[in-house]
Structure 1
Amino acid sequence: MSNPDLAPLVHRLTEIAAATEQHGPGSTLSPADARELLQLCTAATNGPVHQYFSATNSNYVVRHRTLMQSMTLEWQERMVTCLQELDNAYTHLTMPKAFKVTAATEHTVGDLTDTQLPAAGVTVDWYAGETPPEDLDLTELGEWQAEHARATPVYYRTDELREIREIDEHTKVLLPLPDPVPAYDQGRTYLPPHIDDASPGEPGETDTGAGDGTGEAAEATEEEQCDALAQQLVEIGVPAKSWNTGSQCYAVYVQLNATDNLVMTPWPDWCWALERDNTQVYTGHWGTRDMRVVAGRVKALITGLGTIITD
Structure 2
Amino acid sequence: MQAEQETSTIDPAERNARLDGPVSDWFELTYSTHLVLPRTLMQSMSLDWQRRMVACLKEFDRAFEHLDLPEYEVIAAAQRTYGDLTKAEMRMLDVTQGEPAYDGDDSWPDRYYDRYGTEHSKHDRVFVPLPGGDPIPHYNRNRTFVEPR
TMscore range, shorter length:
0.7 to 0.9
Bigger relative contact order, structure 1 or 2, given CA contacts below 8 A and separation 6+?
2
CA distance in 2, matches of 1:102, 1:126: 31
The residue number in structure 1 matching 2:121 is: 168
Letter in 1 for 2:95: V
Does the aligned pair in 2 maintain the 1:105–1:175 contact within 8 Å? yes
CA distance in 2, matches of 1:120, 1:191: 32
CA distance in 1, matches of 2:139, 2:93: 27
1:112 pairs with 2:74 = no
Q: How many residue pairs are counted as aligned between the two chains?
A: 137
The residue number in structure 2 matching 1:20 is: none
Q: What SS does structure 1 have at the residue aligned with 2:145?
A: coil
The residue number in structure 2 matching 1:76 is: 50
Q: What SS does structure 1 have at the residue aligned with 2:114?
A: strand
1:16-45: CA deviation from partner (whole Å, max 9, x where unpaired): 94xxxxxxxxxxxxxxxxxx9322211112
CA distance in 1, matches of 2:134, 2:18: 34
Distance 1:182 1:169, change over 3 A: same
CA distance in 2, matches of 1:116, 1:41: 43
1:92 pairs with 2:88 = no
Moved over 6 A (4+): none
Q: What SS does structure 2 have at the residue aligned with 1:173?
A: strand
1:56 pairs with 2:30 = yes
Displacement after TM superposition at 1:107 (Å) = 1.2
Does the aligned pair in 2 maintain the 1:66–1:184 contact within 8 Å? yes
Q: What SS does structure 2 have at the residue aligned with 1:106?
A: strand
1:157 pairs with 2:130 = no
Give the alignment of 1:142-221 within 5 angstroms.
151=106, 152-153=108-109, 154-158=111-115, 163-177=116-130, 178-194=133-149
Give the alignment of 1:279-290 within 5 angstroms.
none
Displacement after TM superposition at 1:116 (Å) = 2.5
Distance 1:150 1:185, change over 3 A: farther
Letter in 1 for 2:147: P
1:250-292: CA deviation from partner (whole Å, max 9, x where unpaired): xxxxxxxxxxxxxxxxxxxxxxxxxxxxxxxxxxxxxxxxxxx
Displacement after TM superposition at 1:104 (Å) = 1.1
Unaligned runs of 5+ in 1: 1-15, 18-35, 129-147, 195-311
CA distance in 2, matches of 1:164, 1:102: 23
CA distance in 2, matches of 1:118, 1:171: 17
Displacement after TM superposition at 1:127 (Å) = 5.9
CA distance in 2, matches of 1:62, 1:121: 26
Cα RMSD (Å) of the superposition?
2.3
Distance 1:149 1:189, change over 3 A: farther
CA distance in 1, matches of 2:21, 2:48: 25
Unaligned runs of 5+ in 2: 1-7
Does the aligned pair in 2 maintain the 1:157–1:166 contact within 8 Å? yes
Displacement after TM superposition at 1:123 (Å) = 1.8
**TM-score normalised over the length of structure 2:** 0.81
The percent identity for this pair of structures is: 40
